[in-house]
């Protein structure tokens, strides 16, 4: 069999595909962060906790109400998004005129509180959430065994990412949004309810985190700490892609997944650090990120 750098080509393809799947998670999560930062200028440190809430709401719907995976995929993001909007209205909206740091501190504190509450209620061992029957099992691709569910994760994330990009960059609603962040007073003068638009945007960004949470529930342990392990990596993705760049978040998310996947083959010990090394290099060479506009 052909070998590339001493690794059988088939094994390498398998690892690349796995990296791509992880990239799908990075992309969906960093997209939510990018939307919130790009349009609201809020560094949303609660994102990891909201991702965790998505997974937990999915689990609660199943356990307490008997609502399965597919409805949860729609309902959980709506519920988490609604909670996000309440947080935005009652707390975050008071900080728009202040420095970024205040928003960062508030959302970081909220993340700690939310995680603490879930830890108190559900412990730290995690909860079981089964893969939906339609997607259990897998297909043999010749070079690897691909679980159907992982394939679904990639498809679902790609669709959601592209749809988000399309709405914000190509539709009238997206144009309003972008205009409202450039010059809120002027847009308000045209009769558009800017605060409502802002709240909805935050809710949407948070719903994306909740969506990723439900997607993750069947493969990772549903655990109060699941978000805090991931959020730092996702922030690195956003910084590499360029803070606030929608396309940057998507492209960087997927490509970093690939790079991380390759690291896991050639030097597994560095798999957790490779993203931060890239972040450091990008910041040195192009401080605004790969897709960011120079301020």
**Rounded to the nearest whole angstrom, what is the least distance from the CB of residue 271 to another protein in the complex?**
5
**Rounded to the nearest whole angstrom, what is the least distance from the CB of residue 134 to another protein in the complex?**
15
Helices 274-285 and 226-241, packing angle to 10 deg: 30
Provide the 8-state DSSP code for 186: H
Residue closer to another protein, measured from CB, 179 or 225? 225
**Rounded to the nearest whole angstrom, what is the least distance from the CB of residue 144 to another protein in the complex?**
7
**Rounded to the nearest whole angstrom, what is the least distance from the CB of residue 22 to another protein in the complex?**
5
Strands 7-8 and 3-4: antiparallel
Q: Which two tokens stand for residue 7?
A: 């690794």
Residue 26 · residue 153 · CB < 8 Å: no
**Rounded to the nearest whole angstrom, what is the least distance from the CB of residue 252 to another protein in the complex?**
18
Contacts with another protein by CB under 8 A lie at 8, 11, 14-15, 18-19, 21-22, 116, 119, 123-128, 130-131, 137-138, 144-145, 147, 149-150, 219-221, 223, 225-226, 229-230, 261, 264-265, 268-269, 271-273
Residue closer to another protein, measured from CB, 15 or 201? 15
Residue 213 · residue 52 · CB < 8 Å: yes
Residue closer to another protein, measured from CB, 56 or 149? 149
Residue closer to another protein, measured from CB, 11 or 75? 11
Q: Of 44, 26, 50, which Cα lies nearest the Cα of 236?
A: 26
Residue 253 · residue 261 · CB < 8 Å: no
Determine the 3-state secondary structure of 148 from DSSP. helix
**Rounded to the nearest whole angstrom, what is the least distance from the CB of residue 267 to another protein in the complex?**
10
**Rounded to the nearest whole angstrom, what is the least distance from the CB of residue 98 to another protein in the complex?**
31
DSSP line for 37-67: HHHH----TTHHHHHHHHHHHHHHHHHHH--
Residue closer to another protein, measured from CB, 7 or 162? 7
Q: Of 59, 34, 57, which Cα lies nearest the Cα of 47?
A: 34
Residue closer to another protein, measured from CB, 126 or 195? 126
Helices 172-182 and 194-216, packing angle to 10 deg: 110
For the beta carbon of residue 191, count every other beta carbon within 10 angstroms.
6
Residue closer to another protein, measured from CB, 57 or 233? 233
Residue closer to another protein, measured from CB, 78 or 221? 221
**Rounded to the nearest whole angstrom, what is the least distance from the CB of residue 210 to another protein in the complex?**
18
For the beta carbon of residue 63, count every other beta carbon within 10 angstroms.
12
């Amino acid at each position: 069999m052909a070998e590339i750098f001493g690794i059988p080509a088939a094994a390498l393809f398998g690892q690349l595909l796995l990296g791509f799947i992880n990239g799908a998670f990075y992309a969906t999560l960093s997209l939510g962060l990018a939307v919130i930062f790009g349009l609201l200028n809020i560094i949303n440190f609660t994102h990891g906790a909201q991702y965790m809430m998505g997974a937990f709401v999915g689990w609660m719907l199943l356990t307490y109400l008997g609502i399965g995976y597919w409805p949860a995929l729609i309902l959980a993001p709506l519920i988490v998004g609604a909670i996000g909007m309440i947080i935005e209205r009652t707390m975050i909206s008071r900080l728009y005129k202040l420095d970024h740091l205040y928003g960062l501190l508030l959302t970081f504190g909220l993340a700690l509180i939310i995680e603490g509450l879930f830890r108190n209620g559900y412990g730290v061992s995690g909860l079981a959430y089964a893969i939906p029957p339609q997607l259990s099992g897998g297909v043999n691709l010749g070079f690897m065994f691909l679980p159907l569910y992982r394939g679904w994760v990639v498809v679902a994330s790609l669709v959601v990412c592209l749809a988000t990009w399309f709405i914000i960059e190509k539709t009238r609603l997206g144009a309003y949004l972008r205009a409202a962040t450039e010059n809120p007073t002027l847009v308000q003068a045209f009769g558009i309810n800017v605060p409502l638009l802002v709240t909805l945007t935050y809710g949407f960004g948070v719903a994306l985190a909740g969506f990723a949470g439900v997607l993750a529930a069947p493969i990772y342990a549903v655990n109060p700490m699941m978000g805090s392990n991931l959020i730092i990596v996702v922030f690195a993705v956003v910084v590499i892609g360029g803070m606030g760049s929608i396309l940057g978040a998507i492209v960087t998310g997927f490509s970093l997944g690939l790079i991380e996947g390759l690291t896991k083959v050639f030097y597994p010990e560095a798999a957790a650090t490779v993203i931060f090394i890239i972040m450091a290099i990008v910041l040195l060479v192009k401080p605004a990120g790969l897709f960011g506009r120079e301020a």
